[in-house]
Structure 1
Amino acid sequence: MPLIPEEPQIHESAQGPRATPASGRSAPTPRPVPGPRPAAPPRPGRPGPVRPMPPAQRAPRDTAVAKPEPSAPAAPAAASTPQIQLIPASVEGALDAAEEAVDLLLDSGRAPGEVLVITTGEPHPWAAHELSFGDAAYWAQHDAGDDVFYTDASLAARAASRPVVVVAVNGGPDTVAATTLPLAHGRAGTLLIVCGDPQKINSVLGAGV
């Protein structure tokens, strides 16, 4: 059986629209954008007039330089002396007057440890009682400085200084009073109170202090 040739089939491909140039017009050419302008060079300023400098002053050769003179040494301050207060009392009443003076001192605000009492005759009862326990215990209370300390003329040289010293001239030889009062004056820091015969006390203080 003879074969009949088939007619070839033509498949058309899809074609998009074609761009048609505008009639008689060409696309505008873009202009270049100008860049930043270079900064203008600074203008030279006008220099002001030059002011003349004042001439340096030179010290004349003939002028002598004054040298400071050494100052005189300061005078040393006078040593402070305690105030002396005299309480007239008899030999028998000197110890009572001393105890009253101590009470007034404590009432006025003095601390007990600031007061030292010295007797020229019989020792104070407190001192006699404390000495019965031995010298070590007696002087330990003195070193503690917590209370009024009572001593007699024979031991007064061992006592340390205190702001107030009270002396009861309650007997003993005149030589004891003459030795004790200058010693008490040296132990007193601010106040020395002496209870006894004013005539005897003034004669001793005037000669020995």
Structure 2
Amino acid sequence: MSLPGPGVPFPRESDAQAPRTPASGSATSAAPSTLTAAPAPVPGQRPAPPRPAPPGAERPGPKPRPAGIPKPGPRRPEPAAPQIAVQHLAATAAQAVERADEAVDRLLDSGRNPGAVLVLTVGEPHPWQRHELSFGEERYWAQLAEGGDVFYADAALTRPARREVVVLVVNGGTADRAAAAFAEARGRAAELLVVCGNAGPAAEAAGAPAGRPATV
């Protein structure tokens, strides 16, 4: 160890060089600062999907009834079919045509329109039917369509014919044919059926007592 020269103070222990500390703010010695990235903004919460409605909550109700259509109510009973008056004129098979002609005359005299009367025979054709057929069938059936006069035909008529008054002439044929003719004639009459002769028990039970004159 060498001694300091004259005039040089003896070094003190406190004069030992302290480690040099870099000055604050020095660009060369300052440690690079660590940059912390700012946290990304947290987006708002997404709206939750709508909760489904409980079963039956959104069930559609009954549709409104259109205006002007009444609500269904109890059905009204069908109007009863008009009752057909049935009258009987007692006569044998040989007398039936004559009694029928008398009935037609009374109907016309009372003001009944000739085109409203239909005469049907169970047995032989009426003489007036034979007379009209002598001019040909075309002319004969045209009279039925025209409806301007009394029309005479067989009780087994297959063409549509319906008139206010039907006169049934039971001038022959079997009992079964007479009964069937009565049912057919009744369906063709709109107001009155006059039966001349015996058309069977069903005809007797359907109308007035035998022998009562035909009326309007």
TM-score interval (norm. to shorter): 0.5 to 0.7
In the alignment, which of 119, 137, 142 is matched to residue 135 of structure 1?
A: 137
TM superposition shift of 1:132: 2.3
RMSD (Å), alpha carbons: 2.0
TM-score by length of 1: 0.61
Q: Give TM-score, length-normalised by structure 2.
A: 0.59
| Per-residue CA distance 1:21-50 (angstroms, 9 max, x = gap) | xxxxxxxxxxxxxxxxxxxxxxxxxxxxxx
1:109 to 91, 108, 111: 111
Secondary structure of residue in 1 paired with 2:200: helix
Identity %: 50
For 2:151, the equivalent position in structure 1 comes to 149
* Structure 1 moving runs of 4+ over 2 Å: 68-71, 200-207
Q: Which residue matches 1:85?
A: 87
User: Residues 85 and 192 of structure 1 are in contact (CA less than 8 Å); yes or no, is this contact kept in structure 2?
Assistant: yes
How many residue pairs end up in the alignment?
Answer: 137
Shift, 1:70, TM fit? 5.1
Cα distance in structure 2, aligned partners of 1:159 and 1:131: 18
**8 Å contact kept, 1:142–1:159:** no
**2-structure distance, mates of 1:159, 1:118:** 13
Give the equivalent residue in structure 1 for 2:126: 124
Q: Kindly provide the amino acid, as one letter, of the partner of residue 166 in structure 1.
A: V
Letter in 2 for 1:201: G
Structure 2 residue matching 1:116: 3-state secondary structure:
strand
Unaligned regions of 5+ residues in structure 2, if any? 1-69, 207-216
Match for residue 193 of structure 1?
194
Aligned-partner Cα distance in 2 for 1:184–1:113: 16
> Alpha-carbon deviation of 1:176?
1.6
> After the TM superposition, which of the residue ranges 70-79 and 140-149 deviates more from structure 2?
70-79
Unaligned runs of 5+ in 1: 1-67
Task: Assess if the C-alpha contact under 8 Å between 2:155 and 2:185 holds in 1.
Answer: no
In the alignment, the residues of structure 2 paired with residue 145 and residue 125 of structure 1 have an alpha-carbon distance, to the nearest angstrom, of 19
Change (3 A) 1:73 1:133: same
